Chain A
Amino acid sequence: MSLPAIVIKNLVKRFGDTTVLQDINLEIPEGKVSCLIGPSGSGKSTLLRCLAFLEESTSGMITINGEALGFFENANGKRERLPSAQIRAVRAQTGMVFQQFNLWPHMTALGNVSEALKTVHKLPRAEAEARAMAQLRKVGLENRANHYPSQLSGGQQQRVAIARALALEPKIMLFDEPTSALDPELTGEVLNVMRDLASEGMTMVVVTHEIGFAATVGQQISFLDHGRLMFSGPPSEIFAKPRHPRLDQFLDTYLDRGASMLV
């Protein structure tokens, strides 16, 4: 049994007076697809953003492949912030894909994918672009390399965004509702890229409303409700009847969105 890729311990996140995540404890297994599901406002994005260190947790700890993310506990058990170089190094192990793609509009697909290789990793342009091209090929978009985001469909933009994250060779990929902004007929191409990635053994954390995807590709399903992790387990357990009433109620609203197979 390998070590978990991510360990979340007693994680709390507050925005001002509102507690958005309440004492989350979760281990994300290595090499598996872990799906976060739950009603709107339950804190899924916030949790994922804490894993990407786009939000700083209020208390608790996150460990990525054994290394503390952002904060560590000193000898007195107090939480302290790590030096920023160390934070960057730990963050580099994760790649993030956003709901809104967030491609840079002034760069081509190739430019988007090669940017960090050039500016952060200081690769020569030719090498950076060759690597970026290989990633675009992987998501089936090598013939769109010189297109600007505005010239690509939503599904293509999201695949470029996935290539951009993969180009940095992360150990873990974080996805925040990667298909929610897409027209229904375009979700398939993105989900297929994600399935391929899963079959290669990439560790993935996927916030999703695609219950069908979660049930078929997910190996760990975590259900969040009102900032609490209600339960977490393999899909066979989570979706088996009798189900927790909150989950049943939640799934009811998604019956028309691919979850009908679970009923």
Chain B
Amino acid sequence: MNSENESISFDVLIVGAGPAGLSAAIRLKQQAKKLQMNLSVCVLEKASEVGGHIISGAIIESRVLSELFPDWENLGAPLYTKVAQEFFLFLTQASYFKLPIPTQFSNNGNYIISLGKLCRWLALQAESLGVEIFPGFPAAKLLYSSDGSVKGVVTADMGLDKKNNQTDHYQQGIEIYAKQVIFAEGCRGSLSKQIINKYKLDNQSEDQVYGLGLKELWEVQESNFEEGEIFHTVGWPLPADVYGGSFLYQLENNIISIGLVVGLDYKNTWLSPYDLFQQFKSHPYIQKIIKGGKRISYGARTLSEGGFQSLPKLTFPGGMLIGDSAGFLNVPKLKGTHMAMQSGVVAADALIQHFKGNVNLANKEVIGYGKQIKENWMWDELYRARNIKPAFSLGLKTGLLYSAFDSYVLRGMGVWTLKHKHVYLQRKGKTKKSISPEYDGIITFERLSSVYLSNIHHIEDQPCHLQLKDATKAISINYKQYASPEERYCPAGVYKIVKQPNAEVRLQIDAQNCLHCKACDIKDPSQNINWVVPEGGSGPNYAMM
């Protein structure tokens, strides 16, 4: 057995080929070229191709794209549909009311896109600038130098069996070293999580809070299709004490994107975001649009909803956090892409300055990045949006009233900052059990037929990437005290309680259905589930999510 990993070095290593990581890579190469600097940049991506794990709404503000590529239109960037009409609705079970849209939330001039497609395009641009992108190679472990700084990462081993034994096809992960490692893993990054803990980056900030977004693409009948029309809703079917809302965006070629985002700080253990999403589609207003259409894709992903108050420190010796790994997301706008990209750009600029000024690189922390973000427009944008989500912890109506006041009157400049209250799941006895849903197979579907549309590839004979720190807690705590909430919040039905006659109740984990949404890593009541990267190329293959 070869116990020494192979190794390779780059100037900069970026973990994650999402909008944040790719923008950073592109900016680094563009700036290096201008300054005639030699700079090697490597990007690792766990999906088998760039975009395969990307899921978003997505409406984007194109300002950062224009900064990177002023002529993106001529270069063929996949932004085709401009927002033409916009509504904001309050839903009741059978009806709806239109609400006014605050000007700073208006989507006038924004584009409706597939973020996966945009990432593929960005990857092509990055490669033509000389960035080395490796899809199918997850960063699995962190490497530290003796001085405590981050030195690099190790990619995931391939070809281990369920019991961690090497098969004939075993390939040991390789060590990748870099002068700076940029973590761009998106929400709840598996390595970013360790980094934040190790360097106590969240010491000064409030707890991060999260939402789970579920999304489907539908090909609808031509007569129901209105290119460029978008709307967001609040209200039904979410209970009044659950933060969240839906979106419906009409792209091109009769394709619509429809989704529901549910705040993961809900208390009721019986709540099932997946079923709420299915139920949502049966609302008369939504049915009218999708009836007679065909569902073509399904996926889910968490997003960071803490905003301004929850931002961690962004730098540490040897690296930095960008994009949703750091929590850059404008929650009331449901937009993170422009911030992910902008944070990548600011980080890249700071890093170039750092490399220029530090020939021997004795100082391994790029503090300039943290400073420059505060001078950037995105800091101001996050600041203005900071009080909306916490206000909703007082209930939907108060939240709506507050946000109207905050947005129209104060324009986000109130002198106070509302806190996020950390909410825990309540035990099963305290909350009301909901009725099991029924699926009609036309508009609403059960989990497994949804997962089928995510095109998952996952070799079953590999170590389970959903690790229980203490296996007994799955029954003693999760099952006995909380009625196994993972059966409901997992959007892919990975966790199942199995009861067989004459056998003890046990938790079955169907890891091969995992969508890499990270909800279990967040929502487990005793934080007992640790999500780690599986073998490279595992997980969904989203085409245009």
Pairing of A with B: no
